[in-house]
Amino acid sequence: MSTHASTPQTPITYITDEPPHPSARWQLARHCTLLLATVGLAAVTACSVSIGTDDSAVESTSDITIGECLQIDDEADDQGNVRATTIACDSDGLTFYAAETVTADADCAGDNSASLSFDGDPQKLCMTPNFVDSRCYQIPLPGGQLVDYRESDCAAPAATDTIIAEAVTRSDDSITCAADQTAWVFSEPEAIGYCLRAVEPA
Protein backbone atom coordinates (compact mmCIF):
# COMPACT_ATOMS: atom_id res chain seq x y z
CA MET A 1 0.00 0.00 0.00
CA SER A 2 1.42 3.36 -1.03
CA THR A 3 1.09 6.35 1.21
CA HIS A 4 0.73 9.79 -0.38
CA ALA A 5 0.59 12.82 1.86
CA SER A 6 -1.63 14.69 -0.61
CA THR A 7 -4.48 12.20 -0.42
CA PRO A 8 -6.47 10.97 2.59
CA GLN A 9 -5.57 7.45 3.65
CA THR A 10 -7.92 4.82 5.01
CA PRO A 11 -6.10 2.56 7.49
CA ILE A 12 -6.07 -0.99 6.23
CA THR A 13 -5.80 -3.86 8.68
CA TYR A 14 -7.33 -6.58 6.57
CA ILE A 15 -6.31 -8.83 3.73
CA THR A 16 -7.19 -7.03 0.52
CA ASP A 17 -8.92 -8.60 -2.44
CA GLU A 18 -5.93 -8.24 -4.73
CA PRO A 19 -5.14 -11.42 -6.71
CA PRO A 20 -3.12 -13.76 -4.50
CA HIS A 21 0.13 -15.36 -5.59
CA PRO A 22 -0.72 -18.79 -7.07
CA SER A 23 1.60 -20.60 -4.67
CA ALA A 24 0.26 -18.81 -1.59
CA ARG A 25 -2.41 -21.42 -1.00
CA TRP A 26 -3.32 -23.86 1.71
CA GLN A 27 -3.67 -27.43 0.61
CA LEU A 28 -5.30 -28.91 3.68
CA ALA A 29 -6.73 -32.43 3.66
CA ARG A 30 -9.88 -32.80 5.77
CA HIS A 31 -11.38 -36.28 5.75
CA CYS A 32 -9.65 -36.92 2.41
CA THR A 33 -11.28 -33.83 0.88
CA LEU A 34 -8.78 -31.29 -0.45
CA LEU A 35 -9.55 -27.79 0.79
CA LEU A 36 -7.98 -24.93 -1.10
CA ALA A 37 -8.11 -21.69 0.84
CA THR A 38 -6.17 -18.71 -0.43
CA VAL A 39 -4.06 -17.16 2.28
CA GLY A 40 -2.46 -14.14 0.58
CA LEU A 41 -0.75 -12.93 3.74
CA ALA A 42 1.62 -10.77 1.74
CA ALA A 43 -1.33 -8.41 1.43
CA VAL A 44 -1.83 -7.98 5.17
CA THR A 45 -0.96 -4.40 6.06
CA ALA A 46 -1.43 -1.94 8.85
CA CYS A 47 -1.16 1.79 8.41
CA SER A 48 0.07 4.30 10.97
CA VAL A 49 1.18 1.97 13.70
CA SER A 50 1.51 4.81 16.14
CA ILE A 51 -0.23 3.73 19.32
CA GLY A 52 1.95 4.17 22.38
CA THR A 53 5.12 6.08 23.11
CA ASP A 54 7.40 3.48 24.72
CA ASP A 55 10.85 2.77 23.34
CA SER A 56 9.78 -0.61 21.99
CA ALA A 57 7.04 0.79 19.73
CA VAL A 58 7.51 0.13 16.02
CA GLU A 59 6.19 3.21 14.25
CA SER A 60 8.37 3.14 11.14
CA THR A 61 10.65 0.68 9.38
CA SER A 62 13.65 2.37 11.02
CA ASP A 63 12.40 1.39 14.50
CA ILE A 64 13.41 -2.26 14.10
CA THR A 65 16.46 -4.10 12.79
CA ILE A 66 16.15 -6.97 10.34
CA GLY A 67 16.28 -10.22 12.30
CA GLU A 68 14.71 -8.73 15.43
CA CYS A 69 11.26 -9.82 16.51
CA LEU A 70 8.07 -7.87 16.98
CA GLN A 71 4.61 -8.60 18.27
CA ILE A 72 1.27 -7.29 17.06
CA ASP A 73 -1.44 -6.40 19.58
CA ASP A 74 -4.63 -8.43 19.25
CA GLU A 75 -6.83 -5.34 19.06
CA ALA A 76 -6.90 -2.34 16.73
CA ASP A 77 -7.73 1.18 17.81
CA ASP A 78 -10.80 3.14 16.70
CA GLN A 79 -9.00 4.21 13.52
CA GLY A 80 -8.11 0.63 12.61
CA ASN A 81 -4.43 1.02 13.52
CA VAL A 82 -2.56 -1.79 15.21
CA ARG A 83 0.23 -1.49 17.77
CA ALA A 84 3.52 -3.24 17.06
CA THR A 85 6.38 -3.53 19.55
CA THR A 86 9.84 -5.07 19.48
CA ILE A 87 10.15 -8.10 21.72
CA ALA A 88 12.43 -11.05 22.41
CA CYS A 89 11.93 -13.77 19.81
CA ASP A 90 11.33 -16.42 22.48
CA SER A 91 8.55 -14.44 24.17
CA ASP A 92 5.14 -15.94 24.85
CA GLY A 93 2.59 -15.65 22.08
CA LEU A 94 3.12 -15.25 18.37
CA THR A 95 6.09 -13.14 17.33
CA PHE A 96 7.26 -12.18 13.87
CA TYR A 97 10.77 -11.77 12.52
CA ALA A 98 11.48 -8.46 10.82
CA ALA A 99 12.36 -10.05 7.48
CA GLU A 100 13.08 -7.19 5.09
CA THR A 101 11.99 -3.73 4.06
CA VAL A 102 10.73 -3.03 0.57
CA THR A 103 9.15 -0.04 -1.10
CA ALA A 104 5.55 0.41 -0.05
CA ASP A 105 4.17 -0.79 -3.39
CA ALA A 106 6.48 -3.81 -3.74
CA ASP A 107 5.84 -7.44 -2.84
CA CYS A 108 7.57 -9.19 0.02
CA ALA A 109 9.87 -12.07 -0.88
CA GLY A 110 7.81 -14.63 1.03
CA ASP A 111 4.51 -15.68 -0.51
CA ASN A 112 3.00 -16.01 2.97
CA SER A 113 4.70 -13.00 4.55
CA ALA A 114 2.72 -10.40 6.42
CA SER A 115 3.62 -6.72 6.15
CA LEU A 116 3.25 -3.46 8.02
CA SER A 117 2.96 -0.10 6.28
CA PHE A 118 3.36 3.22 8.06
CA ASP A 119 2.05 6.68 7.23
CA GLY A 120 4.86 8.87 5.94
CA ASP A 121 7.27 5.94 5.42
CA PRO A 122 8.09 5.11 1.78
CA GLN A 123 8.94 1.55 2.80
CA LYS A 124 7.00 -1.25 4.45
CA LEU A 125 8.18 -3.98 6.79
CA CYS A 126 7.86 -7.60 5.66
CA MET A 127 7.43 -10.10 8.48
CA THR A 128 8.03 -13.85 8.80
CA PRO A 129 5.98 -15.67 11.45
CA ASN A 130 8.00 -17.25 14.25
CA PHE A 131 6.01 -20.45 14.74
CA VAL A 132 6.98 -22.95 17.45
CA ASP A 133 6.65 -26.72 16.96
CA SER A 134 3.44 -28.30 18.28
CA ARG A 135 1.77 -24.97 18.97
CA CYS A 136 -1.37 -23.78 17.23
CA TYR A 137 -2.01 -20.45 15.58
CA GLN A 138 -4.99 -18.56 14.27
CA ILE A 139 -4.08 -17.41 10.78
CA PRO A 140 -6.13 -14.89 8.75
CA LEU A 141 -7.70 -15.88 5.45
CA PRO A 142 -8.94 -13.35 2.86
CA GLY A 143 -11.15 -10.89 4.69
CA GLY A 144 -9.40 -11.60 7.98
CA GLN A 145 -7.52 -9.00 10.00
CA LEU A 146 -3.90 -8.77 11.01
CA VAL A 147 -4.96 -8.51 14.65
CA ASP A 148 -6.49 -11.98 14.32
CA TYR A 149 -3.05 -13.50 13.60
CA ARG A 150 -2.07 -15.00 16.98
CA GLU A 151 -1.13 -18.07 18.99
CA SER A 152 -4.23 -20.05 19.88
CA ASP A 153 -5.46 -23.00 21.87
CA CYS A 154 -5.66 -25.87 19.38
CA ALA A 155 -9.26 -26.56 20.42
CA ALA A 156 -10.39 -22.93 20.16
CA PRO A 157 -12.93 -22.01 17.48
CA ALA A 158 -11.47 -19.94 14.68
CA ALA A 159 -12.58 -16.34 14.32
CA THR A 160 -14.36 -15.30 11.15
CA ASP A 161 -12.08 -15.45 8.10
CA THR A 162 -9.33 -17.31 9.94
CA ILE A 163 -8.15 -20.88 10.33
CA ILE A 164 -6.53 -22.68 13.27
CA ALA A 165 -3.36 -24.51 12.26
CA GLU A 166 -0.76 -26.49 14.15
CA ALA A 167 2.92 -25.92 13.44
CA VAL A 168 3.87 -29.59 13.20
CA THR A 169 7.49 -29.16 12.15
CA ARG A 170 9.96 -26.30 11.84
CA SER A 171 13.10 -26.65 9.75
CA ASP A 172 14.89 -24.83 6.93
CA ASP A 173 13.66 -24.12 3.42
CA SER A 174 14.28 -27.72 2.31
CA ILE A 175 11.45 -28.96 4.51
CA THR A 176 9.10 -31.65 3.20
CA CYS A 177 5.67 -32.19 4.69
CA ALA A 178 3.16 -35.01 4.92
CA ALA A 179 0.19 -35.13 2.56
CA ASP A 180 -2.17 -33.64 5.13
CA GLN A 181 0.13 -30.70 5.82
CA THR A 182 1.03 -27.48 4.03
CA ALA A 183 4.61 -26.26 3.64
CA TRP A 184 5.31 -22.58 4.26
CA VAL A 185 8.84 -21.57 3.29
CA PHE A 186 10.56 -18.24 3.93
CA SER A 187 13.97 -16.97 2.84
CA GLU A 188 14.19 -13.83 4.99
CA PRO A 189 15.67 -13.02 7.45
CA GLU A 190 16.93 -16.62 7.22
CA ALA A 191 15.79 -19.84 5.58
CA ILE A 192 12.83 -21.18 7.58
CA GLY A 193 10.26 -23.80 6.67
CA TYR A 194 7.14 -24.95 8.48
CA CYS A 195 4.77 -27.87 8.07
CA LEU A 196 1.31 -26.66 9.05
CA ARG A 197 -1.77 -28.79 9.57
CA ALA A 198 -5.31 -27.48 9.80
CA VAL A 199 -7.00 -28.32 13.08
CA GLU A 200 -10.46 -29.83 12.78
CA PRO A 201 -13.14 -27.80 14.55
CA ALA A 202 -14.64 -29.61 17.52
Number of domains in the chain: 1
Q: CA 102, CA 121: separation in Å to the nearest integer?
A: 11
Does residue 75 belong to any structural domain of this protein? Answer: yes
| Distance in angstroms (rounded) separating the CA atoms of residues 87 and 182 | 28
What confidence score (pLDDT) does residue 91 get?
A: 96
Q: Is residue 16 part of a domain?
A: no
Cα 87 to Cα 13: distance, rounded to the nearest angstrom: 21
The pLDDT of 29-58, averaged and rounded, is 42
pLDDT at residue 110, as a whole number? 86
pLDDT band at 202 (very low <50, low <70, confident <90, very high): low
> For the ranges 2-11, 64-73, 75-84, 108-117, which has the lowest average pLDDT?
2-11
Query: What confidence tens digit (pLDDT) does each residue in 128-157 have?
Result: 999 999 999 999 987 678 889 999 999 999
91 assigned to some structural domain? yes
Q: How confident is the model at residue 35 (pLDDT cuts 50, 70, 90)?
A: very low
Does the residue 2 lie in any domain? no
| Cβ-based neighbour number of residue 44 at 10 Å | 27
Asked if the model's pLDDT at residue 48 lies above 90, the reply is no
| Position 121 pLDDT exceeds 70 | yes
Average pLDDT over the chain reads 77
- For 78, the domain range is 25-198
Highest mean pLDDT: which of 33-47, 103-117, 142-156, 169-183?
A: 169-183
In this prediction, residue 54 carries a pLDDT of 63
Q: What is the pLDDT of residue 17?
A: 33
Edge-to-edge order in the sheet of strand 123-129: 82-87, 69-76, 96-103, 123-129, 114-117
Cis before 189? omega within 30: yes
The percent of residues above 90 in pLDDT, for the chain, comes to 54
Residue 4 counted as domain residue: no
Could you give the CA distance from residue 135 to residue 155 in angstroms, rounded to a whole number? 11
Residue 8 covered by a domain: no
Examine residue 13 and state whether it is found in any structural domain, yes or no.
no
What's the pLDDT tens digit per position in 155-177? Answer: 999 998 899 999 999 999 999 99
What is the rounded CA–CA span in Å between residue 180 and residue 186?
20
pLDDT at 33 over 50: no
pLDDT higher than threshold 90 for residue 67: yes
Residue 19 included in any domain = no
Statement: residue 107 has pLDDT above 70: yes
